[in-house]
Amino acid sequence: MATNLVIVESPAKAKTIKQYLGKSYTVMASFGHVRDLPKSKMSIDIEHDFEPKYITIRGKGDLLAKLKKAAKDSKKVYLATDPDREGEAISWHLANLLEIDETEKCRITFNEITKTAVKNAITEPRAIDKDLVDAQQARRVLDRIVGYSISPILWKKVKKGLSAGRVQSVACKLICDREQEIEDFVAEEYWLLNAHLQERKSGSDFVAEFYGKQGKKLKLSSEADVNKVLAQIETADFTVTNVTAGEKKRNPVPPFITSTLQQEASRKLGFTVKRTMMAAQNLYEGVTVPGHGTVGLITYMRTDSLRIANEALSEVRSYIKNQYGDSYLPAKARVYKTNSNAQDAHEAIRPTYVELTPAELKGSLTPDMYKLYKLIWERFVACQMESAVYNTVSVDVTAGDYLFKANGRQMKFKGFMALYVEGSDEEEKEQNGKLPALSSGDILIKQKLEHDQHFTQPPARYTEATLIKTLEEKGIGRPSTYAPTITTITARGYVSREKKQFVPTELGKVVTDIMAGHFNDIVDVAFTAKMEQELDAVEDGNADWVKIIRTFYGPFAEQLKKAEKELEKVKVADEVSDVICEKCGRNMVYKMGRFGKFLACPGFPECRNAKPIVKETGAVCPKCGGKILEKKSQRGKKYFGCEHNPKCDFMSWDEPVTKEQCPKCGGLLLKKTGRAKKIVCYNEDCDYEKKI
């Protein structure tokens, strides 16, 4: 008996959906794209409206034959690829290859892989959305033209293996520009002056910070400025001149979209963008949970919409009421406004079943999936909880003509903060806690005056979190592009990571200078953001993708000709190390490989010596007394091993502590990072540990 065929991208997704649809449906996976542009050439027909020339992806022939046979033997074929541009394009390619009329109602989508969502989708198939397909195709064609036109010039003029890309070039320029800002930064001196004071009746101490003179803010730029103030307040009374009490609310942050999930996972979990999206994909596609079968645990993870389904709002409000009580539940559900540039086809990222708590699922998930699910679940529940409330007090203290200020803050009601607090990219200055009861006119006891010198700091280098935030704010790229963009600029050796921060390499600076000098539009933030908006207009059916590419290509072709003619060959010097090659005696140089920097002999090809960069930690191996070195695994992950490896098998993912030994047994201490920051003893028989 003929069944209905449903085609999805992945086997995991197929397994979950099959469970919901029953025996009358066959569910098969396409394993992603089945057709693409070949890697060997541009394959865009510039002369004929930029028509792309697709080929079947190598190795997909047998799979395609099985899909064709299954489609032929089926009553009806449903294309159920992901609900975005990329998914629509995969469905369009499948329809072409399986000879399905694209105007036929063969396309189904669901924002979450739950029984209700899948069954509803099956009852409401639609035709393939050609606007969505054109939007994906336009991006693909534009990126292919840019990459395959500029890259050969970089190979010829700089070195082989380089590439240029529409979004990656802008990201690289942002990192290079930030580095230039840091290099050009001139630090300015400033001083802080604090008064340690005591309230007479209670004997309670507090600190007031210097603010200014006669009510106006005054900056202390030198020690002479400080001494001038100190001389004038040496005998002055410190008198309370104003006390303002109030109440301050802190509202919860919205549920996650792709970019904010990537940022928060970077800040709180230390995840790379790639690692975050891999865990999110697995949570979306489905996990086997005892008592529930295979369940899709989160909604679609590529989204820039803050919309929440009414059913989900009803469920989470009921959960908050039952678990936390009425005081934690706002009178109305919170509605978050989506950015005007966002595509509102999807919801925000949320758990599909709020009653499936992280604690309940812990045994069914990998560590990465559990950590990410907990983050998503807590953020979603918190976004519908009451605001946190603080009692605040602001105090003005006058000494002669000078004004000092003190602020106190005490939590009155935790609200959403009982569950979740958003991470921050910058160190937040903690506000003072409770101040003593003070009244205007109170004369305080001066205990001591403290002053210290500071210097203004240059802007911080980008981390993954702050780079994504900047790309999003400037309208560069879209949720699906951030992960591949960061992967590409790192793999190409244009930037390196130092303590989670991006630092441009010499090669990255050279390539960015070439791009800025000869292809300014490609690295111009405003131009790229405008291009993104035009491509979004294609998706909305308000623009013709061919016209957009044609308008872009005219000036771009002229820039190409000019660059070919004017650009001179550039030699990028390798950074020389102080490590001597043991085979030929030359100073080894730093090279960039697939997993980051390594040392290589500059005498290549006569001398082919290469080795990893070795960093001494200063710690001693507990097994043989050798030096413990910082090393990198084949996948580029940092670990610590003995210099006598492989004779000595000491190895740890945790960093050794060099300045102290275990106070219990005298053994090696290791510093564990992540959420449970603590120092532990390496000795398995010793239970010593302390929180950091």
Q: Which residues are catalytic?
A: 300
Which residue carries 């030096």 as its tokens? 627
From the list 546, 521, 542, the residue with the least C-alpha distance to 533 is: 542
Instruction: DSSP letter for 267, please.
Output: I
Residue pair 8/14 in contact by the 8 Å Cβ criterion? yes
Q: Taking Cα atoms as reference points, which of 305, 376, 304, 301 lies closest to residue 335?
A: 305
Q: How far apart are CA 166 and CA 471, in angstroms?
A: 13
Residues linked to residue 249 through DSSP beta bridges, in sequence order: 389
Who contacts 225 (Cβ-Cβ below 8 Å, separation ≥6)? 191
E-assigned strand segments in 75-179 = 77-79
Length of the chain: 692
Separation of alpha carbons 413 and 477, rounded Å: 40
Candidates 80, 68, 91; CA nearest to 137 is 91
Distances in whole angstroms, Cα of residue 422 to Cα of each of 57, 277, 322: 43, 19, 24
Buried-exposed string 631-640: b where 16+ CB fall within 10 A, e elsewhere: bbeeeeeeeb
- In angstroms, the CA 501 to CA 338 distance is 30
Q: Shortest CA distance to 283 belongs to which of 269, 302, 311?
A: 302
Question: How would you classify the pairing of strands 638-642 and 651-652?
Answer: antiparallel
